[in-house]
Every structure is written in structure tokens, then in C-alpha cells.
């Protein structure tokens, strides 16, 4: 098993997403033609099939849709963090754009509830990758 955190490999169609994350900005891919937003990023607009895209920076404010607390056995890097929380959050600026990220709270895990309002933060992994996570404040 790998000892390090598995990191996303950057590809042409999601390079802008990761570049923005590295600057602590969350951005969503939109079709340059019909303006349809899409997540996860991909090569083609599923609505009009255009391959031209543009990126809109968003606040990252989100509602907690669901979450899990993984327990061992896990990859070593996550076993060391356990218990941690992984959430699926729904961005308030869109209908149905949901993103996976860790959830941090200063309160006990038991106080976390589906429907909680969360703010995005970024954890720098290396020069190219910062991972978004969300905090309950």
C-alpha cells in the first residue's frame, strides 16, 4: 500500500480547477457555448457537446448533503488521521453540484448534521495540488 496521500493527476480538462485550488479558489467548469455548469470537470458539455469551456470562481459555501467517518483498515495516511470525516457537499450557488471533501469542525463529530452550512478551505499537498475541504463555523 502507498504511504503517501493519493493525489489527483492533472489533465488538460481539469488543469484550471487545480490551478485555482492552488490559489485557494474554488471554481466550476461551465460550457463556453451554452453556459451549462458541470462537475466533475470533463472534456465535453453533455448538453451541447461543445469542447470549449470557461471557469467561474465561486464562494465555496455549501450545505452538507451527507458524510461518513471511515475507520480502519485504511491506507496508512488515512489510518493515521482516523477518525476523520468525509462529506459530500452541495454548493449553494448551484442546483445539484456536489463535491467530496473532508469536513472539519471544532465541535464534536456528533454535533455534525446533514444540512449544516459549511465554508471551503484548502489544504496544500504540493506545489500543484491543494485539496478543498469544508469547515463548520
Give contact residues for other proteins (rule: CB under 8 A): 1-2, 4-9, 11, 39-40, 46, 65-71, 73-75, 78, 81, 83-84, 86, 88, 96-102, 114, 125, 129, 131, 133
**Is the Cβ of residue 2 or residue 106 nearer to other proteins in the bound state?**
2
Residue closer to other proteins (CB basis): 50 or 72 = 72
**Complex with other proteins: residue 83 or 106, whichever CB lies closer:** 83
Signed CA dihedral, 126, 69, 116, 36: sign only? positive
Contacts 24+ apart (CB under 8 A), 81-89: 83/109, 85/109, 85/112, 87/118, 87/134, 88/64, 89/62, 89/63, 89/64, 89/65, 89/118, 89/134
CA distance 49 to 27: 21
As measured in angstroms, the least distance from the Cβ of 21 to other proteins is 11
Q: How far is the CB of 85 from other proteins (least distance, A)?
A: 9
Amino acid at each position: 500500500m502507498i504511504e503517501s496521500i493519493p493525489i489527483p493527476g492533472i489533465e488538460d480538462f481539469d488543469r484550471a480547477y487545480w490551478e485555482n485550488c492552488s490559489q485557494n479558489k474554488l471554481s466550476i467548469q461551465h460550457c463556453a457555448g451554452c453556459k451549462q455548469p458541470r462537475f466533475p470537470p470533463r472534456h465535453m458539455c453533455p448538453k451541447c457537446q461543445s469542447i470549449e469551456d470557461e471557469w467561474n470562481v465561486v464562494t465555496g459555501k455549501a450545505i452538507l448533503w451527507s458524510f461518513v467517518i471511515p475507520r480502519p483498515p485504511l491506507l496508512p495516511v488515512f489510518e493515521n488521521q482516523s477518525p476523520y470525516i468525509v462529506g459530500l457537499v452541495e454548493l449553494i450557488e448551484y442546483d445539484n453540484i456536489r463535491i467530496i471533501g473532508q469536513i472539519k469542525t471544532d465541535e464534536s463529530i456528533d454535533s455534525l448534521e446533514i444540512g449544516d452550512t459549511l465554508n471551503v478551505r484548502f489544504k496544500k499537498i504540493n506545489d500543484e495540488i491543494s485539496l478543498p475541504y469544508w469547515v463548520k463555523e
